[in-house]
Amino acid sequence: MSSASPSLSRQDVAKVALLSRLALSERELDHLTGELSKIVGFVSQLADVDTSAVEPLAHPLDSQNVFRDDVVTPSLTRESVLRSAPRHDGESFLVPAVLGETGAA
Amino acid sequence: MPSDPLQLSAVEIVAAVRSGDLTATACTEAFLDRIARTNGTLNAFLCVDREGALARASDVDARRRAGRPLGPLAGLPVGVKDALCTADLPTTCASKMLAGYRPPYDAEVVARLRRADAVIVGKTNMDEFAMGGSNENSAFGPVANPWDTSRAPGGSSGGSAACVAADMAPVAIGSDTGGSIRQPAGLCGITGLKPTYGRVSRRGLVAFASSLDQIGPMARSAADCALTLEAIAGHDPGDSTSLTDAVPDYSRMLDKPLTGLRIGRVPEHFAAGLDPEVARGVEEAFAVFRELGATVHDVRLPHAHHGIPTYYLIAPCEASSNLARYDGAHYGHRAEPGGGHRAEPGKGHRAADGRDADATAAFESPLVEMYCRSRAEGFGPEVKRRIMLGTYALSAGYYDAYYAKALRVRRLIRQDYLDAFESVDLIGGPVSATAAFPLGEKTGDPLAMYLVDMYTVTANLAGVGGISFPCGFTAGGLPIGFQLQAPALAESLLLNATDRFQSLTDWHRRRPPLAV
């Protein structure tokens, strides 16, 4: 990270929007380009902290893997889960076609 | 026993219900009536479960009359932040994305509250997906601060804080990712505890930033927080990050004298930016602790001033990953083809501002288009901002410079705490730089809003516990909050010190002059 404040272009932000799976309007894109540049500029001050001898800390606990016995336990019923789905056929979640065909399920 | 349940503490309510001096039904009705009278002004509750609460209360009363055992919170009305899953009530996280969503299971904390025979009266308002410091990011309208309804209650647990401050419930459950229990507790003049990371199970808490999120109690006093924490803390096999350490009897350790207790004071907390009235209140609180037999020592947290930039990288990175689950397929809002302009039942400015020309021309498939449009319609501006920020910081070429860098600074911040707790038992200071700010004051400037967490985020980054409680009032009549932070798993000390403070002061007994 350079200590010079990075700036995001409108094109950068459009790319991040696609990676984020967010359809943005032109106006949102304009706003976010300014806002994100400002925020990224702000967080970039961390570049000035010397961390050359410091390991990343991803988690506050010095956690170790937690094991459990591999036994079958009750789980949610299909019905209770599908109840919340925007579209389903009683067995599966329905989504628009992924391959080849067009049109939504 | 006073006849008005609204004036009783949680400890008094459960004792009165147990002894038969008060029925759970009468108590629940009193709080439900209070909610009915005040919620139009405050918007603290997103949903009120009058019928369910009264059925629950009546069950408690019947069991008491039959001489059957009652749980430790029997008959206690509790408000639950809408970030916790409830199988019998909608769980929206104050987002259009989850409007009307009914989870298939109860959060572990909700299940524990029910097993303890608490009476859940409703779900409290919050910033959308717990992202915010003012409750103004709720898709269902902001909460008003009961002390001055033109001001924000803080956030993200703003509804939980306001509901306790306004006597709509004696206890509420909040969650704290960067200060979301402590800051609103401070701005609303109540007591709020963020336990050590892992002390309380997060299963069924809608995830925001999983390495920072923690659930805790919000109430009028340390004693009421202690009672509640005993019921909700403890290991849960359903959350492998929940700690296996035994849960102490917090309530029994409240009156231990503070003689010899060493409290750290961080000189940097009093630098420019701290409101002079808040500074005065905080210094007076240190004086009270001295009077209680504690000693106050200057300590350094040399990396604490990097807390905000560190937090605003780590939390959005984790959020961008956690919120990827909202895909319009499994649950939550789904955009229908050609329905980009058909806004959800949701109304208001947020739905409107995303509906102009579409900037994303081509999608690689109808499925991706459905994802992108569902998320664009369902999420509000702050949630989008944080998802974008996190996605950017995690993307190829930036991961090391931003996310990994922030994780390194996080270790330095945690080390500061470990070093400081070598020489002091607790660290005291302000919760926030100012008392409650006017609604709308910071909504146009995301960065200004981020800075409201400056005294609270470091505890989350380090995983330690913190408590906030009222230590005075401004000349304008707004509460001033004091924060104590402790080493990991020292909740009993936080509650003990706060209870002793509250035995000598009456700030926590003041009630807002709320006209309803």
pLDDT, tens only, B231-250: 999 999 999 999 999 999 99
**What is d(CA B80, CA B113) in angstroms, rounded to the nearest whole number?**
10
Q: Is residue B319 part of a domain?
A: no
Task: Determine the pLDDT at residue B360.
Answer: 58
B319: nearest Cα among B172, B159, B141, B178: B178
Task: Determine the pLDDT at residue A100.
Answer: 63
Q: Is residue B278 part of a domain?
A: no
Q: How confident is the model at residue B358 (pLDDT cuts 50, 70, 90)?
A: low
Give the mean pLDDT of B483-497.
98
Asked if B410's CB is within 8 angstroms of A57's CB, the reply is yes
Q: Is residue B52 part of a domain?
A: yes
What would the DSSP string read from start to end of B271-309?
STTS-HHHHHHHHHHHHHHHHTT-EEEE---TTGGGHHH
Task: Determine the pLDDT at residue B361.
Answer: 57
Size of interface A-B (CB pairs under 8 A): 209
Mean residue pLDDT across chain B:
94
Judged by a CB distance cut-off of 8 A, whether residue B330 touches chain A is yes
Q: Residue B259: is it exposed, middle or buried by C-beta count within 10 angstroms (0-12/13-18/19+)?
A: exposed
Taking only residues 341 to 360 of chain B, the set having a beta carbon closer than 8 angstroms to any beta carbon of chain A reads: 353-360
Task: Determine the pLDDT at residue A33.
Answer: 96
Q: Residue A15: is it exposed, middle or buried by C-beta count within 10 angstroms (0-12/13-18/19+)?
A: middle
Task: Determine the pLDDT at residue B349.
Answer: 33
Give the mean pLDDT of B393-416.
96
- How many other CB atoms sit within 10 Å of the CB of residue B25? 21
Task: Determine the pLDDT at residue A5.
Answer: 56
**What is d(CA B211, CA B202) in angstroms, rounded to the nearest whole number?**
11
- B46-55, B74-83, B309-318, B363-372: segment of lowest average pLDDT: B363-372
Largest Cα span, chain B: 69
Q: Which residues contact A73 (CB under 8 A, 6 or more apart)?
A: none
What pLDDT digit, counting tens, does each position of B457-477 carry?
A: 999 999 999 999 999 999 999
Taking only residues 61 to 90 of chain A, the set having a beta carbon closer than 8 angstroms to any beta carbon of chain B reads: 61, 63, 66, 68, 76-77, 80-81, 83-87
| B81 labelled catalytic | yes
**What is d(CA B262, CA B294) in angstroms, rounded to the nearest whole number?**
6
- Measured N-to-C along each axis, helices B108-115 and B222-232 cross at an angle, to the nearest 10 degrees, of 100
Q: For B346, which DSSP code?
A: -
Q: How confident is the model at residue B338 (pLDDT cuts 50, 70, 90)?
A: low
**What is d(CA B255, CA B502) in angstroms, rounded to the nearest whole number?**
11
Q: How confident is the model at residue A2 (pLDDT cuts 50, 70, 90)?
A: very low
Smallest CA–CA distance, residue B388 to chain A, in Å, is 6
Taking only residues 27 to 56 of chain A, the set having a beta carbon closer than 8 angstroms to any beta carbon of chain B reads: 27-29, 32, 35-36, 38-40, 42-47, 49, 51, 54-56
Smallest CA–CA distance, residue A91 to chain B, in Å, is 12
Asked if A80's CB is within 8 angstroms of B410's CB, the reply is no
B357 bridge partner residues: none
- A94-103, B253-262, B480-489: segment of lowest average pLDDT: A94-103
The dihedral formed by the CA atoms of B68, B71, B72 and B78, expressed in degrees to the nearest 10: -130
Best residue of B201, B408, B413, B416 to probe chain A, by most A CBs closer than 10 Å: B408
| pLDDT at position B341 over 70 | no
Give CA separation, B504 vs B21, B290, B441, in Å.
28, 12, 35
CB distance B18 to B74 below 8 Å: yes
Smallest CA–CA distance, residue B126 to chain A, in Å, is 22
Q: For B147, which DSSP code?
A: T
Taking only residues 257 to 316 of chain B, the set having a beta carbon closer than 8 angstroms to any beta carbon of chain A reads: 303, 306, 309-310, 312-313
Q: Is residue B442 part of a domain?
A: no
Q: How confident is the model at residue B357 (pLDDT cuts 50, 70, 90)?
A: low
Nearest CA in chain A to B444: A35
Nearest CB to B447; choose among A42, A86, A93:
A42
**What is d(CA B316, CA B66) in angstroms, rounded to the nearest whole number?**
52
As for the ipTM of the complex, it is 0.92
Q: How confident is the model at residue B420 (pLDDT cuts 50, 70, 90)?
A: very high
Asked if B461's CB is within 8 angstroms of A19's CB, the reply is no
Smallest CA–CA distance, residue B179 to chain A, in Å, is 16
Nearest CA in chain B to A2: B401
Using the structure block, give the residue that is written with the tokens 């909202």: B326
Please state the domain count of chain B: 1
CB distance B138 to B126 below 8 Å: yes
Q: For the domain with range A10-48, which CATH number is right: 2.40.128, 1.25.40, 1.10.10, 1.10.20?
A: 1.10.20
Q: What is the CATH number of the domain that holds B142?
A: 3.90.1300.10
B9, B156, B160, B242: which is the annotated catalytic residue? B156
Give the mean pLDDT of A15-29.
95
Nearest CA in chain A to B100: A84
Domains in chain A: boundaries: 10-48
Q: What percent of chain B has pLDDT over 90?
A: 92
What pLDDT digit, counting tens, does each position of B34-92 carry?
A: 999 999 999 999 999 999 999 999 999 999 999 999 999 999 999 999 999 999 999 99
Task: Determine the pLDDT at residue A66.
Answer: 83
Asked if A19's CB is within 8 angstroms of B354's CB, the reply is no
What pLDDT digit, counting tens, does each position of A63-105 carry?
A: 678 888 999 989 999 999 999 999 999 999 999 988 765 544 4
- Chain B positions in Cβ-Cβ contact with residue A12 (cut-off 8 Å): 392
Nearest CB to A27; choose among B356, B384, B462:
B356
Domain that holds residue B16: 5-260
Asked if A86's CB is within 8 angstroms of B104's CB, the reply is no
What pLDDT digit, counting tens, does each position of B117-174 carry?
A: 999 999 999 999 999 999 999 999 999 999 999 999 999 999 999 999 999 999 999 9
